[in-house]
Structure 1
Amino acid sequence: MLLRAQDNPFYRLITLPIPEGIVLEGGGLTTLPSGDIALVTRHGDAWIVENPYMEGNQPPHYRRFASGLHEPLGLAWHDGTLWVTQRGELTRLWDKNGDGRADFYESVYRWPLTGNYHEYSYGPAVGPDGQLYVTANVGFFNPEWWRGQSEVPWRGWTLRISPSGEMEPYAAGMRSPNGYGFIDGEFFYADNQGDWMGSGGLVHLEKGDFAGHPASLRWAEHPQSPLQITQADIFAQVDPQLTPEGAPPFKPENDPDGAVLPLYELARELPGVKTPAVWLPHGVLGISTGQFLADTTEGAFGPFAGQVFVSDQGQSKISRIFLEKVDGVYQGASFGFFDGFASGAMRLSWGRDGSLFVAQTNRGWGSTGREPFALQRLVWTGKIPFEIQAVRAMPDGFELSFTRPVDKGTAADPASYALSSFIYKYHPVYGSPAVNLEEGQVRYAEVSRDGLKVRLVVDGLREGYIHELRAEGVRDYTDGQPPLHPTAYYTLNRRPQGDTLAIPAGARAAHHHHPAPAEAAPAPVPTPRPRPAGQLAKNQTTLPAHWTEGPDLTIRLSTKPGLQFDVQDMTVEAGTRIRLIFNNPDDMPHNFLLLRPGQADKVGKAALALGVKGMAMDYVPEMDEVLYHSKLLQPATNQTIYLEAPSEPGVYPYVCTYPGHYVSMRGVLRVK
């Protein structure tokens, strides 16, 4: 069940008004001891927002605290002052004369930059010992601009810095580590899909760990490096597909028939490789991971105390994670939580009342939320949603905890559940489809006396894999409704040891066929009608035989940064035979779909509902509303397709349906 933000009875979304002239593109956010909040913007300003709770029905007051910062993407309050991470520096902001404005910018520690656009830096996260942790992106350089590189120390690393400015490299293998922070005193980071990164995820990092992206290993043998892994170790296991010396640039592409090496298998061969504690399936629980934050509100934010909330900039949403330790290793389940923020959900901070502030931005990155920036506050209404509260691994299956008692009849029926598992490739290609998909079976379900827990005995557990567990058939005891978010994605890094559950004789067994993985069962879509002889295929890549005189018109269409087509309005005559050359010079995947009039939102949402199946389907849903489409183009690739303009005049939208793109990446074909 997907609730619109304005219709959610459990959490209320409040938008803070922003005065005209203030461009509040949130790069960092923290709550001050007074309860006010501090925020840094990508334009380089630091603001103090007073009365962010709008008490007394009064608007918040914005006070500029600092300016001239270099694209800061993190902020923390520590030891009586604000600390901010700029692109190349950890800076402490002092207000020494007490006038409410920073008058001394202390350079705590600087690291080198090349000037590359992608060399973002994030943080700091303040550790229990008072040390400050900063994470750094890799860069992307011509001519192989698709390959993340670490041209200067310490791109792709986490750095641990003392308040006095002493730095030690802590861990490596990051690509775009936008998420950073501490959970129960342990350091975690969150990355985004890209080269060498099949999907986003939450990773527990200890000193000397390697998280997967090999560019950072350029500095593995530096005297300060704590790593025991080198690039040669990685490339001995996985072909990096580097361009041969003297040859034209060669961009790696996914080989659907090639060997599959998941990251967890590499970790078995190379100690020190760290896999995600919890994967966030790409396109399902986000596309561009932002900040994560442990719930320390002791119940003021609802029935999820101690769990972790993760923002997603691209899909303008927040997901939820339940963590546990098995044999000393973190693992757990990820769930949907809240959709519908105004812009890209970037940074999170708890308010003094247990509400959640969300700083947002989408300039250059795009988001499903259409506003260029926003500051919003999410407040629990006091009503408890019916949700899967937690999923715990058991020797023979899983134990589900619910926020409210279940209907025991539906919860005890194995047919109320579906189980499947999958994983991602570890390779130098941008992202990965879900691979090695297998269906499991729920053999038995035992409900606790209070109706708050269900123990499942299953077949098909696989260590190292993501297990999609759907509980769509379970109903709430009180009102008969299904869980608000009925799907959990459990990352099984370790299978627990211990006693298994004895299945009583005559117990109900499942008698259903499990569907392939998806975020939720999408609404039925019509089966496409067969096309008459001579009618073009939806993805026609060869010149149609009956076009004896060739196309009437050639159109060249490209993507450009900021989730846009370079041409957004075209006019043709009805029936025009078109050769469309679609080029993707952007740094992320895109596709092209020509649709029936007025169907852009419907098709975009259907593409999102494809879930983990989406990449294998090029994020093109099978529905009559789609007239023609390209395949999903990876960066620096192109495809030529042939299409005929519809015979009926009208305005036909074209969109990119890669997750989160359809809201803003659009154009129209006007047929006369």
Structure 2
Amino acid sequence: MSQIVKNQVRKWGVVSFVVLSLATLLLTGYTHYEANIFNQPDSTNLNPFVETGFPYISTSVDARKLGTAFPADNQAARTLALQLGDSAYACFDTDLLRWSVAWTGKFLPMVLMAQISYKNFFNKNNGIAKLTGEAKIATGPYAGWTVGKPIFRDGKTTLDQTWKALPAEQARWSGVYVYGNQAILSYSVGDSKIFELPGIAKFEGQVAFTRTIRAEHIASDLYMTVAEISNGTSSEVKGKIAYVYQGANKDSVTAIGIAGKGAWQPEVTDGKYLTVKVPASSKQSEAMVLIWKGPTKSIKAFEKLCRIKPAALPDFAKGGPTHWKETITTKGVTAPDTAAFVTDQLTLPLANPWKRNVRVADIAFFKDGRAAVVTFEGDVWTVDGITKDLANVKWKRFASGLHEPMSIEVVRDTIYVFDRGGIVKLHDLNQDGNADYYENFSNIMPQSAESREWAADLVYAPDGSFYVAKGGSLSNGPGMTSMAVGKGFRTGSDQNGTILKISPDGRRFEVIATGLRGPYLGLHPENGTLTATDQQGNFVPSTPIYVIKKGDYYGVPPTAHRSDNPPIAPPLTWIPHSVDRSSLGQAWITGNKMGPLNGSLIHFSFGTPGLFRVLIDSTSKIMQGGVSYINASYPAPTSKGAINPADEQLYVTGFNLWGSASVGISSLMRLRYTGKPSYMPNQFRAGTQGVILGFDSELDRAAATNLASFDVKRYNYNRTEEYGSGHFKLDKSTGEEIMPVAGAYVSADGKKVLLLIPDMTEVMQMEVAYRLLAKDGKKMNDHFYFTVNSSDDINLKKYGFDNVDLALLTAKKTEMAAQPARVEVASIERGQEVFQKMACAGCHSPGTKTDGMYGPPFKNLYKSQRIFDDGTKVLADESYLRESILSPSKKIVKGYNEEMPSFVGVLSDSEIESVILYIKSLSGN
């Protein structure tokens, strides 16, 4: 172990060292398959994102600028980018069932979010995949197959870019079979079933693309559009071959030929569309379609090639060869039982024979306690050996090729994954531990190619349906669509920023809620209660948690997708920016082995990172709630989790990319209940008289009745098109109201405290900081953050409070009004405290680090020249720094996005001055 690593172990402790080790393992590669996080590997790096042995990746592609020979409008959000061998490739659009483009040379550039960050873990500068090779054939954004006649987008029939799949009764993507390094495409056209094997054939230095097709149940004539040639000069059909010539001297040609004995016939329409007619037949029909673009002098050789006898499709329905035979064994790290809840680490299989990155996005469980995890790379792994000591955790790759998946479910021991292609149902046809058939369970939800329109979340409901959450089409990424009405958004699909319910058969959907920016879900697996979070940003002033009801609208106009001007549904609770600036999933603790957390809703914070216990006050007229942090070690951002039916503990996944206070890359951990006492809040009630907080442990009465043990404040947010919000008093002036505690009482059972607070009313955010002792002497210093949606009268006796002097409410209010304001002194030290407390450190480095940071670094910032998106420049003096803190969206530094909320009313003048002094100190001033 290097001296640097030893120093870090001494400085941070063993648990924090896990973070360093995970990052180091990812950065340096692996030399053996027996993984141990304390073994420092010597050499090798991650292999490329695209694996040579797997036939495709799922991706989006922009093929709008291929040249005059090709259609000008050609984008595809959901495609399989097929590796056909010998530097030849094709993209199959699973929405429109067409070859959107085929080419030779280099594969697509790896610039999408999961791809560009695959090795450079904090790189968020994703792009749009555009061809760098030589395009050979392409089609426009219309159906690749039709019934009865060919239909094109040329004025006769228009099929606008809706980012939706074709209507299922017209045609539908069924899925893909993986057979070795080949992909067999499966889809339906009308009542006909189509199976297609893409490939290539080489002749005289030329490459012809092949489509070997089996068609079944052909009730009506079918038409397949193979290519669109925009600059054709003439065309002809000779027998089983059709030609479109290009150039004044006809020196180049695009041709299609039919190999096989069937009655399939090539056709040319309008001198530009090459199609194939598949006649109606009661029998199964097979043929190979060859497509070629090249010099006219090679026509004879192509005609000869078309006389070959096409090979039969492989017997794919029984499963293919095993792709990933190896099982990777890792040794987990169990935490000492030092608290009620601790986190054990299931070491990731980073040392694997494929040198594959493993950034775990979500987890689900089989009935026997085995797990399935999905990675942002697009892989699914199964995990066995999840025992108490985690001594032999066994990992096996199960599936690959998915498109930025972030959700996984196991239903009746079958794996479902939600990615940009839709909900994929995975089948192991030959029981070899690898998926052979990637079934399209549902692609009924539209999906644009906008990089932030995430396939964000998938949860399974007790009635057999699924709920999905789709990210909003944010403008802080490369755009393929126009800007939307509303700052910070692009148009995307007509269901971006929504929650949908998908029917048990995957064929129907209903819109449950709209108006969200970046929602993630939680669902109670027994009673079906659906919750969601949203991402702070434009129109979302801070982090909310919602209890979702059908028909609700949550306040983001660009994702409203309705015209009835509905009211904005209130959240269960807001969470301050400094506490959780980026939220993700939720999970319910079911079973009876998590002690005080049994039955609780758990909220996952990406930015903090960590888990929060959510308390719900359902006795009020409007449901309201609050959160408290579960103190434990979190070596990487926490994103999603699930209860293991075997041990009934919560397993938590997460990976880093978008800006978190954590430096870890990814982790899979177990939140385990040790049986030791818990000191967290477990009950919450807010009303006219004040706030009741219940705790897991009995309280020391002297500390709990001491008014100096509590600090309470409240404030509202402003929901505007700007990013986030400052803090505002109830009279709408800037700032926060410090609330007096008029009295404190302990309940008869000793576990609840009543805080009498004058002037209680509805407010978006309240905070209670408490410094208590448990009866056993344990210090309980923490915060509880909550929202008051309805300030109703509390039945104090019901909660165990008798002889409460409510007259204190009036007396304390008068006393506090006469107190002078506190005088605060600015200092560098205080500025550094604010920098940490307000989570500035998660986006801005105090040094020069830019990886993983959303904002510019602070070292040498003062008096440097700032260049903005519009080309203007300014010197970073005190005035500029103050403006950046209070109005961060006014000037955006070039290369960065608008992702900082205003600190108006959040920081006092003294705190702002302290932060400026701290920034100046980092520049030697």
CA distance in 1, matches of 2:609, 2:591: 23
Are the aligned partners of 1:326 and 1:496 in contact in 2 as well (CA < 8 Å)?
no
CA distance in 2, matches of 1:316, 1:148: 26
1:312 to 590, 605, 617: 605
CA distance in 2, matches of 1:619, 1:140: 32
- Residue of structure 2 equivalent to 1:482: 779
> Equivalent residues in 2 for 1:252-331 (5 A)?
270-271=566-567, 273-284=568-579, 286-298=580-592, 300-327=593-620, 329-331=622-624
| More relative contact order, 1 or 2 (CA 8 Å, 6+ apart) | 1
SS at match of 2:618: strand
**Root-mean-square deviation (CA), in Å?**
3.9
SS at match of 2:630: strand
Are the aligned partners of 1:340 and 1:369 in contact in 2 as well (CA < 8 Å)?
no
- Deviations along 1:241-280, one digit per CA (max 9) or x if unpaired, are xxxxxxxxxxxxxxxxxxxxxxxxxxxxx54x21111112
Are the aligned partners of 1:10 and 1:381 in contact in 2 as well (CA < 8 Å)?
yes
Cα shift at 1:356: 2.2
CA distance in 1, matches of 2:631, 2:806: 42
- Residue of structure 2 equivalent to 1:366: 659
* Residue 513 of structure 2 is aligned to residue 163 of structure 1: no
> Equivalent residues in 2 for 1:129-278 (5 A)?
129-141=463-475, 147-165=488-506, 166-182=508-524, 184-217=527-560, 219-220=561-562, 229=564, 233=565, 270-271=566-567, 273-278=568-573
Cα shift at 1:526: 8.1
Cα shift at 1:220: 1.6
- Residue of structure 2 equivalent to 1:52: 386
SS at match of 1:303: helix
Give the direction of change, closer, same or farther, for the CA distance of 1:119–1:410 in structure 2 (3 Å limit). Answer: same
- Residue of structure 2 equivalent to 1:438: 737
Give the direction of change, closer, same or farther, for the CA distance of 1:67–1:468 in structure 2 (3 Å limit). Answer: same
Unaligned runs of 5+ in 1: 222-228, 234-269, 515-524, 531-556, 571-576, 587-591, 595-609, 630-642, 647-672
CA distance in 2, matches of 1:294, 1:578: 47
Cα shift at 1:82: 1.4
- Residue of structure 1 equivalent to 2:250: none
> Equivalent residues in 2 for 1:615-630 (5 A)?
622=914, 626-628=918-920
Cα shift at 1:341: 1.6
Give the greater-gyration-radius structure (CA): 2
- Residue of structure 1 equivalent to 2:752: 453
CA distance in 2, matches of 1:182, 1:615: 38
Task: Give the residue type in structure 1 aligned to 2:589.
Answer: D
CA distance in 2, matches of 1:399, 1:139: 41
2:453 to 119, 139, 145: 119
Are the aligned partners of 1:344 and 1:360 in contact in 2 as well (CA < 8 Å)?
yes
Are the aligned partners of 1:140 and 1:148 in contact in 2 as well (CA < 8 Å)?
yes
- Residue of structure 1 equivalent to 2:154: none
TM-score (norm 1): 0.69
Structure with more helix by fraction: 2
CA distance in 2, matches of 1:22, 1:391: 46
Cα shift at 1:126: 1.4
CA distance in 1, matches of 2:656, 2:910: 24
CA distance in 2, matches of 1:96, 1:115: 32
- Residue of structure 1 equivalent to 2:789: 493
> Equivalent residues in 2 for 1:465-614 (5 A)?
465-472=764-771, 474-479=772-777, 481-485=778-782, 487-497=783-793, 499=795, 503-504=804-805, 527-528=826-827, 562-563=852-853, 579-582=863-866
SS at match of 1:18: coil
Give the direction of change, closer, same or farther, for the CA distance of 1:529–1:163 in structure 2 (3 Å limit). Answer: closer
Cα shift at 1:310: 1.3
1:357 to 646, 651, 659: 651
Task: Give the residue type in structure 1 aligned to 2:639.
Answer: M
Are the aligned partners of 1:395 and 1:497 in contact in 2 as well (CA < 8 Å)?
yes
Give the direction of change, closer, same or farther, for the CA distance of 1:381–1:499 in structure 2 (3 Å limit). Answer: closer
- Deviations along 1:546-592, one digit per CA (max 9) or x if unpaired, are xxxxxxxxxxx99967317788998xxxxxx9841235779xxxxx9
Cα shift at 1:408: 1.2
CA distance in 2, matches of 1:446, 1:150: 54
CA distance in 2, matches of 1:621, 1:361: 35
- Deviations along 1:494-545, one digit per CA (max 9) or x if unpaired, are 222455676449989869979xxxxxxxxxx985389xxxxxxxxxxxxxxx
Cα shift at 1:456: 2.6
- Residue of structure 2 equivalent to 1:86: 419
- Deviations along 1:211-254, one digit per CA (max 9) or x if unpaired, are 1111122x325xxxxxxx3xxx3xxxxxxxxxxxxxxxxxxxxx
- Residue of structure 2 equivalent to 1:30: 364
CA distance in 2, matches of 1:526, 1:439: 19
Task: Give the residue type in structure 2 aligned to 1:459.
Answer: P
CA distance in 1, matches of 2:794, 2:684: 17
Give the direction of change, closer, same or farther, for the CA distance of 1:454–1:316 in structure 2 (3 Å limit). Answer: closer
- Residue of structure 2 equivalent to 1:236: none
SS at match of 2:559: helix
2:712 to 408, 419, 431: 419
Unaligned runs of 5+ in 2: 1-12, 17-334, 730-735, 797-801, 818-823, 830-846, 871-875, 879-901
Cα shift at 1:191: 0.8
- Deviations along 1:73-127, one digit per CA (max 9) or x if unpaired, are 1111123311111023111112233222222222122233331111101232112
Task: Give the residue type in structure 2 aligned to 1:30.
Answer: A
Give the direction of change, closer, same or farther, for the CA distance of 1:350–1:484 in structure 2 (3 Å limit). Answer: farther
Give the direction of change, closer, same or farther, for the CA distance of 1:613–1:297 in structure 2 (3 Å limit). Answer: farther
SS at match of 1:92: strand
SS at match of 1:628: helix
Task: Give the residue type in structure 2 aligned to 1:460.
Answer: D
Report percent identity of matched pairs.
Answer: 24
CA distance in 2, matches of 1:134, 1:593: 47
Give the direction of change, closer, same or farther, for the CA distance of 1:623–1:42 in structure 2 (3 Å limit). Answer: closer
Cα shift at 1:128: 2.3
CA distance in 2, matches of 1:567, 1:339: 29
SS at match of 2:914: coil
CA distance in 2, matches of 1:617, 1:93: 57
TM-score (norm 2): 0.51
Give the direction of change, closer, same or farther, for the CA distance of 1:321–1:619 in structure 2 (3 Å limit). Answer: farther
SS at match of 2:728: strand
